[in-house]
Amino acid sequence: MDIGDADDTDIPRGGVRVLTVLVPVTITVSVALLISQWRLRVATRALAAGRQELEHLLLSVPKIIWRAGPDGVPDLVNKRFATLTGVDLVAPGAVEFQHLVHPDDINAVGRSWAKAKASRRPFQITFRLRHADGGYRWMSATGRPAFSTSGDLLRWYGGISDIDAEVGALATVQRLNATLEQRVEERTHDLTLSEARYRRLFEVSNVSFCEQDIGDAKIWLDELKRDGVTDFRAYVTAHPEFLDRCVTAIKTVEVNEALARLLGYQNCGELAAKPPRENAETAVKVLTDQLEAAFHGWTNIEGTTVLIGKDDRRIPVLYTVRLVSDTRQVSSHIDLTERERIEALRTAAQAELARSNRIATVGALSTSLAHELNQPIAAIMTDAGTGVRWLEADPPNTDGLRRVLRRLEVNGKRLADIVQRTRDQLVKGTRTASAFDLGQLIAETKDLLERDLTMRQSAMTVACPHDLPQVIGDRVEVRQVLVNLLMNGLDAMAAVPASQRQLSVAVGHGVNGMIRVAVADTGPGIAEEDMAKLFQPFFTTKPGGMGIGLQICRTAVEAMGGTLKAGNNLGGGAVFTFTVPAVDIPHPVPSVAIA
């Protein structure tokens, strides 16, 4: 406005001055205009380039990008949408989006979108979108609102990406999980049932059961194996303290009522609290067998033992131990009392029969002996009388006396022959000589006498060197000799208290390559006056004794080339020592058959 006023008044006088001012201004404005236009063109081009780049970007993004107005009506969707759904994009707002959503998801999608619009907060929805091929795929849609600086909602921007693979994988995992859970549930149910069945069986069964925990010992056994030990027996023989530790570590977890009843206990707990090594006469042997089974992973062992119950009651049983897990063993027991009683009756009857047979044999032999001896004795008596008379004659009839003495000698020899033959008849039989392991035979014999040892509350030890050579002889006879000597020892020890009854067999090298076996006991020993008579036939100090056992033993040992002697131990008790030849001595093989 000021410029206009000046133009009207000053032109006539100062027209040149005005022009001088106006021209540069006009030029300046025009240049500025030109610059602005140029800038605008540059900016428009940059904007177009940016828009194009954005479009490229939108096209290259592997997901659907969308934009909506503040009312939520979409006004822009990238081409990906059309590619996936096959729906034209010309007017995004007109697309009936809900027709593309899976009918099962439509409500959830509607609710989430309505909630987001109401709260004007970002959202995320998972739903199935129908694709161009007509199939549905799982998609994840996100959106966030954009606001003006004054807080007005301008637009919604968002994306939709394909998560079908993830959802599928998730569903598979969930399915697998569910199957797994179901299996676990079924298995647990089965286990619970079988555990309940087992418990019921365990508790109410008439068969006695005992469950033991060998967990601690198992750890030590595994360590042994890791250290390279393979022979469990050899190891525990060399390391008795290890065995003792393992045996002590075995604990009774539970016993059933049948076992408590069998052993005379009122309640199972009282029995379970007892250390396992106190529960049987051969408990340490049984527990050692159990440990050996655990060492080698054997699932089953069985045997016989005598259980020790309340008030020292003894019950012979057949037992089975089963390894039910790495750390648990369950044993069951069958009471053999009745069977043992019948067996004892049978054995007694057999023994009685054998005794009667022998008495009958001895009776018959005595009769024939008396008969046979009668004549030579009568002859000896007569000759003795005649000899005395001829000796007392004056002068003494020395020729007659000589004849009588010769006849006495002959008759004496006849008597000796008769006695010898009778003795041979008593021990008649055919003997077979062969090489065998004496240590093993002694161990077998010990097993054979286990019951007698138990019944007579006696202990027995065997000491036998490992490098003992084999012996040669009649294995059956040697066993008979051992049985006789050990049984005699048991008889003798009946006179001493049970705690002192101890049989011991010691094997060693004798002279001239013979093997010497000493059988000792802790009985009263042999009276001095009986020592010379021991091996005489029919010498006995026992009420029911026959007095021929030692006689038979000596004959058998001598037939094998050995000797049998009796003596007393310095510390008390008797000791019988016999010898048998070792195989590798240059002795002639003893006679194999004696008639």
Of residues 564 through 593, those in contact with ligand ADP by CB under 6 A are 574
Please report whether residue 489 would count as binding ligand ADP according to CB under 6 A: yes
Closest distance to ligand ADP from the beta carbon of 204 (Å) = 51
Piece of 191-199, 334-342, 396-404, 538-546 that binds ligand ADP (CB under 6 A): 538-546
* Spatial CA neighbour of 480 closest among 449, 503, 457: 449
Closest distance to ligand ADP from the beta carbon of 460 (Å) = 13
Q: Which is nearer to ligand ADP, 488 or 555 (CB)?
A: 488
Please report whether residue 549 would count as binding ligand ADP according to CB under 6 A: yes
Are 309 and 265 within 8 A, CB to CB?
yes
* Spatial CA neighbour of 536 closest among 526, 546, 521: 546
Closest distance to ligand ADP from the beta carbon of 500 (Å) = 14
Q: Which is nearer to ligand ADP, 78 or 484 (CB)?
A: 484
Piece of 161-169, 171-179, 445-453, 539-547 that binds ligand ADP (CB under 6 A): 539-547
**H or E segment at 7?**
helix 2-60
Q: Which is nearer to ligand ADP, 378 or 476 (CB)?
A: 476
Closest distance to ligand ADP from the beta carbon of 490 (Å) = 9
CA distance 539 to 349: 25
Tokens of 135: 């199939």
Piece of 182-190, 200-208, 336-344, 543-551 that binds ligand ADP (CB under 6 A): 543-551
Piece of 39-47, 104-112, 236-244, 488-496 that binds ligand ADP (CB under 6 A): 488-496
Q: Which of 540, 567, 585, 587 binds ligand ADP (CB under 6 A)?
A: 540
Tokens of 498: 């049970």
Taking CB atoms, the residue at the shortest distance from ligand ADP is 549
CA distance 402 to 408: 10
Q: Which is nearer to ligand ADP, 334 or 487 (CB)?
A: 487
Q: Which is nearer to ligand ADP, 355 or 413 (CB)?
A: 355
Closest distance to ligand ADP from the beta carbon of 350 (Å) = 17
Piece of 59-67, 398-406, 533-541, 586-594 that binds ligand ADP (CB under 6 A): 533-541
Tokens of 24: 């540069």
Q: Which is nearer to ligand ADP, 100 or 574 (CB)?
A: 574
* Spatial CA neighbour of 209 closest among 275, 147, 253: 253
Site string for ligand ADP, 45-74 (x = CB under 6 A): ------------------------------
Determine the 3-state secondary structure of 437 from DSSP.
Answer: coil
Please report whether residue 356 would count as binding ligand ADP according to CB under 6 A: no
3-state SS of 182-198 is HHHHHHHHHHHHHHHHH
Piece of 166-174, 223-231, 501-509, 549-557 that binds ligand ADP (CB under 6 A): 549-557
* Extended strands (E) in 457-586: 459-463, 471-473, 502-509, 514-520, 564-568, 574-581
Tokens of 117: 């619009």
Piece of 10-18, 100-108, 236-244, 483-491 that binds ligand ADP (CB under 6 A): 483-491
Q: Which of 546, 583, 585, 594 binds ligand ADP (CB under 6 A)?
A: 546
Closest distance to ligand ADP from the beta carbon of 383 (Å) = 33
Q: What are the CA-CA distances from residue 479 to residues 72, 86, 439, 517, 553 (Å)?
A: 110, 103, 11, 12, 10
Are 106 and 98 within 8 A, CB to CB?
yes
Determine the 3-state secondary structure of 110 from DSSP.
Answer: helix
Tokens of 151: 């807080």
Closest distance to ligand ADP from the beta carbon of 516 (Å) = 17
CA distance 259 to 207: 8
Place of tokens 């240049």: 31
* DSSP letter (8 states) at residue 104: T
CA distance 415 to 555: 19
Q: Which is nearer to ligand ADP, 80 or 501 (CB)?
A: 501
3-state SS of 216-251 is HHHHHHHHHHHCCCCCHHHHHHHCHHHHHHHHHHCE
Q: Which of 200, 541, 592, 593 binds ligand ADP (CB under 6 A)?
A: 541
Piece of 12-20, 454-462, 548-556, 587-595 that binds ligand ADP (CB under 6 A): 548-556
Piece of 82-90, 154-162, 482-490, 494-502 that binds ligand ADP (CB under 6 A): 482-490
Q: Which is nearer to ligand ADP, 161 or 480 (CB)?
A: 480
Q: Which of 521, 555, 561, 580 binds ligand ADP (CB under 6 A)?
A: 521
Of residues 491 through 510, those in contact with ligand ADP by CB under 6 A are 492
Asked if omega into 395 is within 30° of 0 (cis), the reply is yes
Which residues are 509's β-sheet partners?
515
Which residues are 127's β-sheet partners?
139
Are 438 and 468 within 8 A, CB to CB?
yes
Closest distance to ligand ADP from the beta carbon of 426 (Å) = 12
Site string for ligand ADP, 442-481 (x = CB under 6 A): ----------------------------------------
Piece of 171-179, 412-420, 510-518, 541-549 that binds ligand ADP (CB under 6 A): 541-549
Q: Which is nearer to ligand ADP, 317 or 492 (CB)?
A: 492
Tokens of 169: 């994988």
Torsion of CA 178, 183, 187, 193, to 10 degrees: 70
Concatenated DSSP letters of 577-595: EEEEEBTTS-PPPPPS-B-
Are 537 and 548 within 8 A, CB to CB?
yes
Beta-carbon count within 10 A of 456 CB: 17
Q: Which is nearer to ligand ADP, 448 or 483 (CB)?
A: 483
> What amino acid is encoded at 539 in this protein?
F
Closest distance to ligand ADP from the beta carbon of 519 (Å) = 8
Q: Which is nearer to ligand ADP, 268 or 548 (CB)?
A: 548
Residue ranges in contact with ligand ADP by CB under 6 A:
484, 488-489, 492, 521, 523, 526, 530, 534, 539-542, 545-551, 574
